[in-house]
Amino acid sequence: MQQWLAAQGIPVAPAEGVEVTVRTDWIAKEPEQIFSSAIRSAGTFYTDRMVNWTKGKRIMFKAESSLNQAVNLQVIGNIVDDKERATDINGALPLAANGNLSVGPAWDDWTPFIGCRITVAVAPTAGILTIWAVIQE
């Protein structure tokens, strides 16, 4: 720009750095319930849906269990909205009977769609497992 102005005969002050500040608010969406079930058998289960995280900066899952048996939660991610072909993100985390757990992926674990795999070793006879996702955009 300075060269163009000089070519037009307009005096140009020496080049100085210009400080620019860009503000991006990190606003959290409302929590979305993505799983709520009274699990009564051992096996592998998935959240009812994958969360679309294409515009998100951070995501956090909150699990609340009133199940009378422990379960393992594994955060999973995929480039498409398909939970069965999703890959593991980090390791599985134990969720104690009647316990709560919050978990989120690291910055470099980003995938467009993300959810949870639930592994139950011993069939619970009482209680409900509920999982919410909260996204910051």
User: Given this model, what pLDDT does residue 15 score?
Assistant: 61
CA distance 74 to 70: 13
51 - beta bridge partners? Answer: 114
CATH class of 27-136: mainly beta
What's the pTM?
0.79
Per-residue model confidence as pLDDT tens for the chain (137 residues): 667 667 777 777 666 666 767 676 778 889 999 999 999 999 999 999 999 989 888 999 999 999 999 999 999 999 999 998 999 998 899 999 999 999 999 888 889 999 999 999 999 999 999 999 999 88
Q: Sign of the C-alpha dihedral, residues 75, 81, 82, 87?
A: negative
CA distance 70 to 88: 20
Segment (H or E) for 4: helix 2-7
Q: Where are the domains of the chain?
A: 27-136
Q: CA-based angle 96:44:91, to the nearest 5? A: 60
62 - beta bridge partners? Answer: 102, 132
